[in-house]
Structure 1
């Protein structure tokens, strides 16, 4: 099963108010294992970057001024996403921005049926706890010491590790692998084993004594001196 873990950085909180996506980072995972394939891109938002947003991710107007427009790279992004399920933390936020950008340049929005929200998973597992990416990484012992500011690709990498932990950890994959090995061994044994050869049974022996055996027995009895069974 192919899944894409992704994160975005934006100019603000609401694309309906003119905020734009300025960065996206995606990590490919197949059967809960990272493949090493990723997608990362910065976009020129065609609007000034609010200082509050810049303080979060560090992406300035100067830095973004020579970056491509989302419309010029949308097809490349969609090709990478394919038809995989998309995993994000507080996924509603990221989907709102991604779909707003797609619609702006004439593409269909991505179905929310493909959305997997790690925030919702964390809420069900740890009700009442702090559920930010930082807090959850600390809870599960995921090293985030290199995270000075938010960054889409870096956060997607952290989220990949968190998603694995939230959904059972690496041992799930190992358990499935062991089950698979056991099934393969059983199948091999069944396919290579031979049916036992048909056994030939001897005809049952008659258990009553023959005339010769009776005669020899009688002679033996008569040779016993003072047998106990003759005493009264």
Structure 2
């Protein structure tokens, strides 16, 4: 399989270099792990802002993300291999992207290499988990998170956050699989491939964290347009519909 793109960037990094990021954030880059932990903890405390519930979905700032991992069981030794993410405002994908490999302590199984293209050699020179997690959380900031099948990604993020910083994820997180089940109740399967195909969104490189995040972002944009016809205008409206589903 073709080797995935190694880096993507990031309006965040451009802002960092140009001084557009607050010094409290910029100062932790390259700093010891204790400062990285402090930053992640402080960011966690800022989440769950009630005003976000009433913001129009057309203006909501989100980060659509995906993880590749060594397996499917975060509580049994599997670890994150890569982070991929894109920023959106409403249904528009911005040019801000994030991608990094992570130097997992677990070996990369052969079947995972076949699935993702990530090899043991690739991760041996990659950033540590705390570095990758810190940079991902800095990219996310205070945005609402979106993923497809959030159970897997949330479990791995929580395991990584607890392992490195002794906290749990506090960001609001939406699941395009659950939204798909609500909007498209007659479909037989709600995997990412099936929903992309149903929405006529081109499938590019699957099981690459950044490419999967981009495709999920396109799916979220399509679902936002469908939700407008159901008078779902805010995050509070969406939560209400999903809670009754």
Q: Please indicate, yes or no, whether the TM-score normalized by the shorter chain is above 0.5.
A: yes
Provide the rounded CA distance (Å) in 1 between the counterparts of 2:119 and 2:223. Answer: 34
1:121 lines up with 2:179 in the alignment: yes
TM norm structure 1:
0.68
Provide the rounded CA distance (Å) in 2 between the counterparts of 1:45 and 1:110. Answer: 20
State the shift of 1:32 in Å: 2.4
Provide the rounded CA distance (Å) in 1 between the counterparts of 2:170 and 2:78. Answer: 21
Provide the rounded CA distance (Å) in 2 between the counterparts of 1:7 and 1:16. Answer: 18
Moved over 4 A (4+): 169-172
- Kindly report which structure 2 residues correspond to 1:106-145, keeping only aligned pairs within 5 A, or say none: 106-111=165-170, 114-127=172-185, 128-144=187-203
- Kindly report which structure 2 residues correspond to 1:1-232, keeping only aligned pairs within 5 A, or say none: 1-111=60-170, 114-127=172-185, 128-144=187-203, 146-147=204-205, 149-168=206-225
State the shift of 1:138 in Å: 0.9
Corresponding pairs, count: 170
Gaps of 5+ in 2: 1-59, 234-245
Provide the rounded CA distance (Å) in 2 between the counterparts of 1:116 and 1:168. Answer: 16
Provide the rounded CA distance (Å) in 1 between the counterparts of 2:79 and 2:144. Answer: 23
| Bigger relative CO (Cα 8 Å, ≥ 6 apart) | 2
Question: Once the two structures are superposed, what CA deviation does each residue of 1:99-129 show, in whole Å capped at 9, x if it has no partner?
Answer: 21111111522126x0101111111222342
TM norm structure 2:
0.65
SS at match of 2:165: coil
SS at match of 1:167: helix
* Alpha-carbon RMSD: 2.0
Asked whether the equivalents of residues 164 and 170 of structure 1 are also in contact (C-alpha less than 8 Å), the reply is no
State the shift of 1:31 in Å: 2.6
Provide the rounded CA distance (Å) in 2 between the counterparts of 1:121 and 1:31. Answer: 16
Provide the rounded CA distance (Å) in 1 between the counterparts of 2:215 and 2:114. Answer: 20
Moved more, 86-95 or 50-59: 50-59
Provide the rounded CA distance (Å) in 1 between the counterparts of 2:156 and 2:135. Answer: 17
Q: Which structure is larger by alpha-carbon Rg, 1 or 2? A: 1
Question: Once the two structures are superposed, what CA deviation does each residue of 1:116-168 show, in whole Å capped at 9, x if it has no partner?
Answer: 01111111222342211111111111111x32x41000000000111111232
